[in-house]
């Protein structure tokens, strides 16, 4: 089972320069490889493999001798990242790979092997860089795979180490109606459960939006290229980082709770990218970050042998009475509570949707009534 462990690094000034040198060289190789792939396809109608590109990298040393100053395996890691980008483009339709810019606030390079981790000394040794002070707050056991060094927009450095703990994923637990929960995500409440529980939406971005607007106005007024502009940009980045950390902390706690308390979780498939085109709700939807929350549920379910059930995007979970099955086609987004004209049951819109999501998911598994 693969797990990633992320640690904060505290490099010296000289080591920071080495980091930036690696960021720049890896970016050059990535852009060069992307250009080669595009040219090869336009001329021959074929794609050039990363192995062929790796064989061509030494030829670049003649004109770009500074490439010799960085870890050669990090350079070859750039071609692997490019291959992965093309795989996402063809399989998941994630968008054609773009050329990387040095102005991008997030920079990274990979270290496939030959790095060392010393937990007792709180240091990590990187090829061509040396021992770097690192806050190794968690120990791990297993086979170390690729490590990735990254820089955030706030100027912080992190290393993420992929570890194979040599353990198999646990067998999926048997589930039934009693140990399954349906979840309806929303904006007013972050998540509503089929058992009637509502999880309040913390709205981290909305709570900080006024302060963010002030900092962005200050940034826009600074002179281009000045030190004050750099300071103002850093202040904006730090607030964005705080919001992101708050959001991830909240989602980790909620997802861990749901996975630990249930054997199966039923979810509705949402077209989030399409919903973000609604300019009236886009900011609130982005603030809730449902896709990130679902991702956390999915990999934690794999870790602990739980099951994620999905229902279709167009299932009428909101408009159907969960008691008698009456379809209320006139229900609008503004209506939060409604009464079924058939069985006269009073429904909370979101709780009713969560119950239906659970029913639809279990019905596909032929587990209704078990």
Residues 309 and 181 in one domain: yes
Q: Are residues 46 and 147 in the same domain?
A: yes
Q: What's the burial of 133, exposed, middle or buried (CB within 10 Å: 0-12/13-18/19+)?
A: middle
Q: Distance (Å, rounded) from C-alpha 48 to C-alpha 125?
A: 34
Looking at the 3D structure of the chain, how many domains does it have? Answer: 2
Is 98 a member of any domain? yes
Residue 122, domain member (yes or no): yes
Domain span holding position 20:
2-164
Pick from 335, 267, 318, 336: nearest CA to 327 = 318
Assigned token pair, 79: 């071609």
Domain co-membership, 73 together with 188 = no
Identify whether the C-beta of residue 191 lies closer than 8 Å to the C-beta of residue 185: yes
As a whole number, the mean pLDDT across the chain is 91
- Enumerate residues 6+ apart whose C-beta is below 8 A from 325: none
CB 291 within 8 A of CB 247: no
What residue has token string 């940034």?
A: 219
**Whether residue 107 is found in the same domain as residue 86:** yes
In the annotation, is 350 catalytic? Answer: yes
- Identify the bridge partners of residue 191 per DSSP, sorted by sequence position: 185, 199
Instruction: Confirm whether 44 is domain-assigned.
Output: yes
Catalytic residue among 44, 65, 337, 350: 350
Catalytic residue among 268, 315, 337, 348: 268
Which of these three, 107, 135, 164, is where a domain ends? 164
**Residue 196 in domain:** yes
Any domain includes 66: yes
Known catalytic membership, residue 164: no
Strand-pair partners of 5: 161
Please name the helix (run of DSSP H) or strand (run of DSSP E) that holds residue 266, with its range, or none: strand 264-268
Q: Tell which residue, 132, 152, 112, has the closest CA to residue 26.
A: 112
Does one domain contain both 191 and 96?
no
Q: What distance lies between CA 186 and its chain's CA centroid? A: 19
Task: Kindly state whether residues 42 and 157 are assigned to the same domain.
Answer: yes
pLDDT per residue over 128-162, tens digit each? 999 999 999 999 999 999 999 999 999 999 999 99
> Using CB atoms within 10 A of its CB, is residue 127 exposed (0-12), middle (13-18) or buried (19+)?
middle
**Residues 305-362: pLDDT tens digits?**
999 999 888 888 888 888 888 888 888 888 888 888 888 888 888 899 999 999 988 8
Per-residue pLDDT of 219-231, as tens digits, reads: 999 999 899 999 9
Catalytic one among 44, 83, 165, 184?
184
Give the pair of three-digit tokens for residue 180. 């399954």
How would residue 366 be classed by pLDDT, with cut points 50, 70 and 90?
low
Q: What is the pTM of this model?
A: 0.87
145 and 278 fall within a common domain: no
Q: Is the same domain home to 197 and 332?
A: yes
Sign of dihedral through CA atoms 194, 200, 202, 206? positive
47 and 124 in a single domain? The answer is yes
Are both 152 and 269 inside the same structural domain? no
Which pLDDT tens digit goes with each residue over 311-326? 888 888 888 888 888 8
The answer to whether residue 233 is domain-embedded is: no
Residue 8 lies in a domain: yes
Q: SS3 for 338?
A: strand
360 and 322 belong to one structural domain: yes
Q: What is d(CA 96, CA 30) in angstroms, rounded to the nearest whole number?
A: 14
Residues 47 and 160 in one domain: yes
Domain boundary (115, 137, 164) is at: 164
The answer to whether residue 137 sits within a structural domain is yes
User: Using CA atoms, how far apart are residues 140 and 134, in angstroms rounded to an integer?
Assistant: 15
Instruction: Express each pLDDT in 58-72 by its tens digit.
Output: 999 888 999 999 999
Annotated catalytic residue 168: no
């Amino acid at each position: 089972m693969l797990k990633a462990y992320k640690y904060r690094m505290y490099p010296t000034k000289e080591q920071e320069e080495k980091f930036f040198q690696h960021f720049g060289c890896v970016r050059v190789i990535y852009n060069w490889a992307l250009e080669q792939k595009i040219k090869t396809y336009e001329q021959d109608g074929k794609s050039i493999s990363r192995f062929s590109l790796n064989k061509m990298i030494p030829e670049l040393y003649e004109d770009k001798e500074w490439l010799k100053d960085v870890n050669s395996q990090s350079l070859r890691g750039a071609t692997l990242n490019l291959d992965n980008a093309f795989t996402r483009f063809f399989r998941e339709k994630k968008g054609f790979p773009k050329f990387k810019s040095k102005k991008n606030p997030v920079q990274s390079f990979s270290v496939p092997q030959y790095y060392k981790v010393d937990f007792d000394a709180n240091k990590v040794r990187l090829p061509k860089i040396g021992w770097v002070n690192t806050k190794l707050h968690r120990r791990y056991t297993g086979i170390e795979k690729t490590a990735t060094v990254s820089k955030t927009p706030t100027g912080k450095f992190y290393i993420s180490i992929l570890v194979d703990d040599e353990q198999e994923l646990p067998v999926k637990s048997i589930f039934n109606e009693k140990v399954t929960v349906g979840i309806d995500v929303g904006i007013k409440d972050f998540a509503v459960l089929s058992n009637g529980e509502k999880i309040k939406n913390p709205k981290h971005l909305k709570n900080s939006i006024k302060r963010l607007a002030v900092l962005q106005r200050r940034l826009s007024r600074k002179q281009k290229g000045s030190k004050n502009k750099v300071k103002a940009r850093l202040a904006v980045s730090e607030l964005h980082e705080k919001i992101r950390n708050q959001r991830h902390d909240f989602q980790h706690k909620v997802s861990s709770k749901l996975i630990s308390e249930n054997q199966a979780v039923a979810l509705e498939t949402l077209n989030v990218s399409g919903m973000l085109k609604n300019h009236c709700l886009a900011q609130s939807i982005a603030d809730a970050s449902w896709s990130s929350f679902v991702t956390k549920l999915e990999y934690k379910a794999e870790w602990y042998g739980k099951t994620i059930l999905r229902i279709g995007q167009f299932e009428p979970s909101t408009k159907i009475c969960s008691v008698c099955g009456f379809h209320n086609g006139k229900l609008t987004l503004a209506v939060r509570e409604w009464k079924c004209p058939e069985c006269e049951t009073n429904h909370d819109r979101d709780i009713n949707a969560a119950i239906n999501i659970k029913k639809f998911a279990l019905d596909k598994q032929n587990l209704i009534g078990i």
